[in-house]
Amino acid sequence: MKEKSASIGRGLAASLLTLSIALSGLIASGCDRTGETNNHGAHERLVIQNIGSDTMVNLAQAWAEEYATVEPAVSVEVSGGGSGTGVAALINGAADIANCSRQMEAGEIAKVKAADGQEPVENIVGYDALAIFTHKDNPLEEITIERLAAIYGEKGRVRMWADLGVQVPGCKSGEMILVSRQSNSGTYHYFREAILGKGVDFKLGTLDLHGSKDVVELVSRTPCAIGYSGMGYATQGVKMLRIARKPGETAFAPNVENTQTSKYPIARPLYMYTRGAPNDAVKKYLKWVQSEAGQAIVRATGYVPIVKETGLSAAVEQGAKRQ
């Protein structure tokens, strides 16, 4: 009995401890935010809160890490959660920059304006080519938008790999396993609009995964699977299909050149939104992100930069990444 009460006491102490740690964490983060707006002392590190799209989280993280060497006095804190989460954080003031893999909706712009008095500022910081992934052993090489709609759309008839005329090694049942994203992801909404068309829903029974990386991870381990995700997430275990707009037209591979020249049909701009009057640190950061140095990181993480470059070097780099 004595032993038990002692252990309860210990448990209580432990939970009090965690509570106090959590509280001090909250207080500390509160300090950070006030430090950012009021305190421009030399010893204080300025903190830029950067929240939003899961598609962009790796890229934003890479920028933040590189920027720490460029501007040691500024620390950029990146977190994901989805484009909607980022916009919500911009509205309630928790974020200085919202990462969005889609354009802000009119309602969201109105909310920012209501909170801040000014419309948010839109910055295009790169492009994302949405890739269609299959297992690396899958013999399929290219596909049309129409076929993709028949695979993923609510009324679509394609359910078996044989319907596409392929036999996938390691997939005995021949059933297509459709990998999709949860409805809070910007990628989900973009795919629905770009592939299925306005007002068309996904088929029931898709596997709705939490993150961009999870999709590629699952497809690389599942011979029967097909999935969509940002092309920056490609690994060695998966294959990216070439995509044609219509049957009979040329299919294009998801790479830098085809995205910049708009030949690849499913690519979209990536945005960073700020409030109407961002502070100097945020302005400087965005300028750096859009500069040659920032865009080099876009290239390195597998996305498509906004600045033009010679097609050859892009193709070489893309080829190197594939191997």
Q: How far apart are CA 303 and CA 307, in angstroms?
A: 12
- Work out whether 2 is an interface residue with another protein (CB under 8 A): no
Is-contact 171 161, C-beta < 8 A?
Answer: yes
Q: By CB under 8 A, is residue 112 in contact with another protein?
A: no
184 part of the interface to another protein, by CB under 8 A = yes
Q: Single out the segment in contact with another protein by CB under 8 A; choices: 93-101, 211-219, 257-265, 278-286.
A: 211-219
Task: Tell me whether residue 43 or residue 172 sits nearer to another protein (CB atom).
Answer: 172
Q: Looking at 35, 81, 269, 311, which residue binds another protein (CB under 8 A)?
A: 81
Residue from 2, 43, 157, 172 that binds another protein (CB under 8 A)? 172
Give the DSSP per-residue string, 200-214: PPBPTT-EEESSHHH
Nearer to another protein, 227 or 232 (CB): 227
The residue within the footprint of another protein, chosen from 225, 226, 282, 304 (CB under 8 A), is 225
Handedness of CA 167, 234, 122, 245 (dihedral sign): negative
Task: Based on the shown chain and the rule CB under 8 A, indicate whether residue 207 belongs to the binding site for another protein.
Answer: yes
State the minimum distance, in angstroms, from the CB of residue 159 to another protein: 12
Q: Please state, in angstroms and rounded to a whole number, the distance separating the CA atoms of residues 316 and 309.
A: 12
| Min separation Cβ 5 and another protein, Å | 13
Should residue 144 be labelled a site residue for another protein when binding is judged by CB under 8 A? no
Among positions 155, 221, 283, 287, the unique one binding another protein when judged by CB under 8 A: 221
Q: CA-to-CA distance for 80 and 269, rounded, in angstroms?
A: 18
DSSP 64-118: HHHHHHH-TTEEEEEE-S-HHHHHHHHHTTS-SEEEESSPPPHHHHHHHHHHHSS
Q: How far is the CB of 95 from another protein (least distance, A)?
A: 15
C-alpha separations of 53 from 30, 89, 211, 236, 282 in Å: 23, 12, 10, 24, 18
How many angstroms separate the CA atoms of 95 and 86, rounded? 7
Reduced to 3 states (helix: H, G, I; strand: E, B; else coil), residue 230 is strand
- Could you say which of 52, 80, 84, 86 contacts another protein (CB under 8 A)? 84
Site residues (vs another protein, CB under 8 A) = 81-82, 84-85, 171-173, 175, 177, 182-184, 198-201, 204-210, 214, 217-218, 221-225
